[in-house]
Amino acid sequence: MCGIAGILSLTPGARVPREALDVMAAQLVHRGPDDAGQYVDPQGRCGFAFRRLSIIDVAGGHQPLCNEDRSVWVVFNGEIYNFPELRAELLYQGHRFATRTDTEVIVHLYEEHGEACFNELAGMFAIALWDERRGRLLLARDRFGKKPLTWAKHDGWLYFASEAKAILAVPGVPRAVDAQSLHRYLIFQYVPAPHSIYKGFQKLQPGHYLAVAAERPSPGRQRAYWRLDPPPFDGSYRDAKARLGELLTAAVKKRLIADVPLGAFLSGGMDSSIIVALMRELGVSPLRTFSIGFADRRYDETHYARLVARQFQTEHHEHVVTPQAREILDTLAWHYDEPFADSSAIPTYYVSRWARELVTVALTGDAGDECFAGYDRYRAARLAGWLEFFPAPLRRLVSYGARLLPANRPRTLTNRLRRFAGACAEAPAARYLAWVCVFSPAQLAAAYRPEFRAALHPDEPCLWFSKLHDSAAGPPAERAIQADFLSYLPYDLLTKVDVASMASGLECRAPMLDHELVAFARSLPLAWRLGRGGKRILKDWARDRLPPPVLRRPKMGFGVPVGEWFRHELQDLVRGRLLSEGSFCRQVFRPDVLTAWVESHVSGRANHEHQLWALLMLEMWHARWQPAF
């Protein structure tokens, strides 16, 4: 796991400045504290900077790395889990290797397959590859977007890096807010790729690559090298359960390859518990597990984590997150580069920091809900699909009545009913967006300052989301899963874990996102995934492995009680940041609306926890990075 950066000249005769590469690398030390490297093309057209977190071939895995005749160079962030098989095949084809690292596989694979090499790689990766003979730079990102890659074009140069801060550190690179991406953030709580909060910046999309010729003004366009579209599974349920076990075991086994200590995040949910169970079966020892808890029992899962830890005799470690987490908000604003409003970044950051004291690699249960239909909202989508058979006027009446229900407390049946029924009259894509958005487009339209609203294409984020949602065939629940795979998973969940873990130099691996396992899961009939309250086939497979309470427990989610914190310990923080005369939010929103949101939440008349958290993190980001607006 590493931090990569680089510069490509788009102007004939211009030579890459080595001092700029040094500046960029200095911003990525947290991602790679163990080693550093640099490469500049003999003609000065392209330069790479690298920071390394040593995982495999600790002594020999220095980057940048090249092929035998030094005509192909690479810097790489991530892990290639099938590199032993690829290496054996390449050796048979006559290639010579100088190291045991997975990185070296990439240059030789490129020699054999060109741009098609990325589809041969199984793992998580962000890759920059320089072909000296052709004068061409290739940037690529793994299928699901586990590892990030950002690029920007400025003043005749193309800059790229694992994190935007490395590009922003280069003298002369402007930092200005992209208003449309700010609008996207306020709806989704993240800025989806290829967009960035900074004007002139782009993020490489998952499963895409970008080919850029040196000394030419245009950087080209991103191209997809892989899409998730598996054929339907043609076996029995029993066959599927057996195949599931094989794929899960193989996915975990591949992710145990490391020359450093490893452990696991253990939330107490089924997905992370399965990972721990398989690690024990595969002989990991010592097996260290790490959990986060809260004093508020509605958010605390440590009881279940302890059950799993006892059953598998792990070396278990747990910590409690308190409202004192406010002390790290500026730190999070620096690490995330962009405004990011998933509050579970707080416990993820803490558990990563504590785990890093004992291990360098941690396995997680991420993506189990997307693969096996575990979220409550998928069952809600199925139910709402059934309600479409009722007359539209009746659904509109139900929707109107639901909005009159109180919604001042989170995680209550009344609040869930209000959220579900309040959108039941909408079309499927708009209905699902209403369930997952932070601010609704209607809320924003009424709250924006007129001059800010006039600069936007207000419907663009909704149209983008609808396109993702409707790109899948099948019932509303299947389309909701598709939307999450293409939006929430890469741009929220995976971004959260990557940034929060790499802030402490910890590598996180997600076996549930093995691309063969994901394709298999998505090939199964929806009923085999969504049945029995979600994750039917996964529960059936795990029934003899996990403690019964873990299998029977309701879905909880990795939430944080920020709503209660805003009414008590963090009340002064949210008032001071959002309502002060100089706040950034007052440049975007009408001051009376901001005041109404804060006061109605603090008084307990309404629950605006997600909205206020999004605004607070926007304010923290702006204060930290000071972009022009």
Residues annotated as catalytic (active site), given as ranges? 2
**Distances from the Cα of 511 to the Cαs of 40, 144, 207, in angstroms?**
36, 12, 18
449 alpha carbon, distance to own chain's centre = 31
Strand 65-66 with 46-52, pairing: unpaired
Block residue for tokens 């149209």: 463
Q: Which helix (H) or strand (E) holds 406?
A: none
3-state secondary structure of 126: strand
Please answer whether residues 163 and 170 qualify as being in contact, where contact means their C-beta atoms are separated by less than 8 angstroms.
no
Distance between CA atoms of residues 97 and 104, nearest Å: 7
Question: Can you give the C-alpha Rg of the chain in angstroms?
Answer: 24
Q: CA 19, CA 6: separation in Å to the nearest integer?
A: 12
Contact 141, 90 (CB under 8 A): no
| Secondary structure in 3-state letters for 261-329 | CEEEECCCCHHHHHHHHHHHHCCCCCCEEEEEEECCCCCCCHHHHHHHHHHCCCEEEEEEECHHHHHHH
Integer Cα distance of 616 and 442 in angstroms: 21
- The candidate with the shortest Cα–Cα distance to 78, out of 120, 125, 32, is 125
- Quote the distance between the C-alpha of residue 303 and its chain's center: 27
**What is the residue type of 168?**
L
User: Between the CA of residue 622 and those of 11, 336, 583, what are the distances in Å?
Assistant: 33, 12, 9
Q: What is the DSSP letter of 524?
A: S
